[in-house]
Chains A and B, each alone.
Chain A
Amino acid sequence: MKLRRALVAWLLALAVVIPMSSLVGFAHHSRAHYGTEESTTKGIVVEYKWRNPHVYVVWAVTDQSGKTTQWVGEMASLTSMIADGMTKDSLKMGDEITVVSFPSKITGSTEALIKKITKADGTVVVDNSRVPNLRQP
């Protein structure tokens, strides 16, 4: 009985401690609208905005039918992205990239939260540590 109570307490502590540990990298704009399903797409960089409040990249993805969709991928502030290894020169128009992201939950939206960007030559442009923010309530 005591053991069961102690285990319940331990599980409760896990439920509290794990979400708390994910709050470290708070950004000032909510990311609640992004889903939790990971998506991987390949495309061409159309725009790279090295700007506050959040850096973003626009990339064009062409499906098998030839239809092209432009995705907008959000990252974090300039200074946060510098800490993660990005600079104003990390991406340029025409770069071929593979993007792992979390698309918006809003129907029809082509916004996504960036998790990882890799160039065609295998260079990892960013492996964004702010993804745990998705676990925010």
Chain B
Amino acid sequence: MRNRIVSSLFALTCLAFSPSAWTQERGFGRASTETQPDKDVTPGPGWKTCPRCTNNKQLQAAYKTYNVEGHAFDPHDLSGVWGNNGIELDVKTVPPFTPLGERMFQATRSEIPTTNSKDGMLICDPLGFPRWFAYNYGFQFVMLPDRVLQFFEWGHTWRDIWTDGRKLPDDPPQPRWLGYAVGRWEGDTFLVEGSGYDDRSWISEDRRNRIRGFPHTDEMRTIERYRRTSYGTLEAELTITDPKIFTRPWTTKGKVELRPNAELWEYFCVPSESDEYNKRLIEAARQSK
């Protein structure tokens, strides 16, 4: 009996603190606060909202308005605006580093404790891929006959995922921040292979303590798997392989929700704005060391 009570307490506790319990239907994330408006804030009639401009109440309403639950869908059509913040890399399963990987990882350590001073994002370097998988403020797939375009709100940029049968380049003339990507269907799963990445980007910030970033070399390869399991849900999986950095592949699995009444808005990383921000917050912290 006691065990049953304790088990029930455990289950109730987990449920109470799970993000999905904060909303009645889908787990969109943040709890409501006093000032969050009930209705979408848009530029005017006919205009849509942005993925991050909506709160839980507005998302719940949009899902009802657009009949997302139970809506018919084609599993080979990934069109739409998805998520609002990317899919966090699974830091619980970071593979062991190689000796070089460990050295490169330690070299990313911030010079100050308050934020990562070595993060290229602070000076508006492109996030690169797969950092744009993990952090994007929402993305949009556009299906074309010969390619799938993936647009990202963060940085207001895109990548081409070629589906015309071409192979990844063996030795690309130029490493690219977003690499080279080719895609194909395996059943209802859209499989994307990527390589040719510029090694100046990080795989991601290390969000365990936010004072380092996960490095990669130009030998990194990625495999993404996207599967639309309902009109409103896209399952996504990313596997990163870089034998110079990690002793085994690193896989992250996640789920993103459709933003049914959203359009990607403009989020440029503006050097002058970042410079001002860095001066105020980062330089002040550096000087106070």
> Which residues of A does B touch, CB under 8 Å?
2-3, 6-7, 9-10, 13-14, 17-18, 20-21, 23-26, 28-30, 32-33, 51-54, 72, 74, 77, 79-80, 82-87, 106-109, 111, 124-130, 136-137
Contact of A7 among B6, B50, B270 (CB under 8 A): B6
Contact of A13 among B3, B14, B274 (CB under 8 A): B14
Interface residues in B133-168 by Cβ distance below 8 A to A read: 135, 137
Question: Closest Cβ of chain B: how far from A51's Cβ, in Å?
Answer: 6
Q: In whole angstroms, how far apart are the Cα atoms of A109 and B14 in the complex?
A: 39
Interface size on B, residues (CB 8 A): 56
In order of increasing CB-CB distance, the 9 nearest A-B pairs are A33-B114, A85-B35, A79-B52, A30-B115, A6-B6, A127-B34, A127-B33, A82-B53, A21-B17
Of the listed residues B6, B35, B52, B208, the one surrounded by the most CB atoms of chain A closer than 10 A to its CB is B35
Do the beta carbons of B10 and A106 come within 8 Å of each other?
Answer: no
User: What are the interface flags for B26-38 relative to A under an 8 Å C-beta threshold, 1 for contact and 0 otherwise?
Assistant: 0001111111110
What chain B residues lie within 8 Å of A109 (beta carbons)? Answer: 284, 288
Question: Closest Cβ of chain B: how far from A89's Cβ, in Å?
Answer: 12
Do the beta carbons of B7 and A6 come within 8 Å of each other?
Answer: yes
Question: Closest Cβ of chain A: how far from B125's Cβ, in Å?
Answer: 13
Question: Closest Cβ of chain B: how far from A44's Cβ, in Å?
Answer: 20
Contact A32 B273, CB 8 Å, known A87-B41, A129-B30: no
Contact A10 B13, CB 8 Å, known A79-B53, A111-B284: yes
Do the beta carbons of B41 and A53 come within 8 Å of each other?
Answer: no
Do the beta carbons of B52 and A83 come within 8 Å of each other?
Answer: yes
